[in-house]
Amino acid sequence: MPIDPVLFVGLALALGFKHSYDADHLVAVSNFLARSRSLRRTTLMSLSWAIGHMLTATAITVVLFAFRATILQGFLEYLEFAVAVMLVVIGVLGLLIEFRVIHRHAHRHATEEHDHAHVHLGQTRDHQAMFGIGVVHGLASNDELLVLLVASLSVASLEALVGGVALFSLGVVAGMVTFGLGVTIPVRRWGTERVRRAINVGAAVLSIAYAAYLFLGFETPNLIPSVNISLAIP
C-alpha cells in the first residue's frame, strides 16, 4: 500500500536535512562559512550551496530514474573523485589566503562589507564559489537520492520522484542554513582575530586531510546517526 502523504513529506524533509550533514559537505563549506561575520551573508552562502546541490542532484536523479542507471552509473562513480580534488583546491586556496599569499581586501556594498581574494584570473566571489561547490556535491550524490526515494519511500512515478526531490532539497536547505549559522554565530560573537585565523587554517587543513581520506577509497560518513526508515513494499 502507498505511503501516507504526511509521512512521505516528513521523511523526505528529514532525509534532506540529514544528507546536508555528509562530512564532505561540511568540510568544504566550512572553509567559507568560518570567514563570514554576517548572519545574512552566511544564510545566503548556505542557500547558494543548497541551490547548486539541488539543481545537479535533481538532474542526476531524474536521469538515473529514467534510464535505471544502465548507462551512466559507471561514469558517475568517478564524480566522487571530483569531490576529493575540489577539497584539495579549497584547502590549498584557504591556506594561501590565510598566509597572505593571495591578498584579500575589504569591499563595501550598500548593506554590508565583505572580502575578495585577488588571484591572477580575477576576483572570486564566495556566493559563486559556494554555488559551484554545491553543483559538484550534487553530481557526486549520483544514485543515493534515487535509492532513498525509491527504496525507502516507495516512489514509483516520475512526478512523485520530482516532488520527493523538491521536499528533499528543502530539507537540505534547512540543514545547511542551520549548520552555517551554528558556525558563524559563535565565531562572530566570541572569536578574536587569532581564533578566527586558527579556525580558518584548521578548516583548510581538514579539507586537504579529508580529501586524502577519500582518495584512499573510504566512504563519506554522516554526522547524524542513521535510522532504519525503509518502507519499501516487497
Secondary structure E strands in the chain: 104-108, 113-119, 122-124
Range of the domain at 146: 5-108+117-215
Q: Is the pLDDT of residue 183 over 60?
A: yes
Domain count, the chain: 1
Q: Is residue 37 part of a domain?
A: yes
Q: Is residue 70 part of a domain?
A: yes
Percentage of the residues of the chain whose pLDDT score is greater than 70: 78
- Beta bridge partners, 179, equal none
Q: Is residue 223 part of a domain?
A: no
Q: Is residue 21 part of a domain?
A: yes
SS3 78: coil
Q: Is residue 176 part of a domain?
A: yes
Q: HSE of 198 in the Cβ direction (CA atoms, 13 Å)?
A: 6
Stretch 143-166: mean pLDDT: 78
Sheet arrangement for strand 113-119: 104-108, 113-119, 122-124
Sequence letter at residue 39: L
- Ranking 6-10, 58-62, 120-124, 187-191 by mean pLDDT, the lowest is 120-124
Q: Is residue 197 part of a domain?
A: yes
Residue 149: its pLDDT value, please? Answer: 77
Q: Is residue 222 part of a domain?
A: no
Q: Is residue 230 part of a domain?
A: no
Q: Render pLDDT for 61-76 as a digit per residue (tens, 0 to 9).
A: 887 777 765 655 556 6
Distance CA 125, CA 157 (A): 39
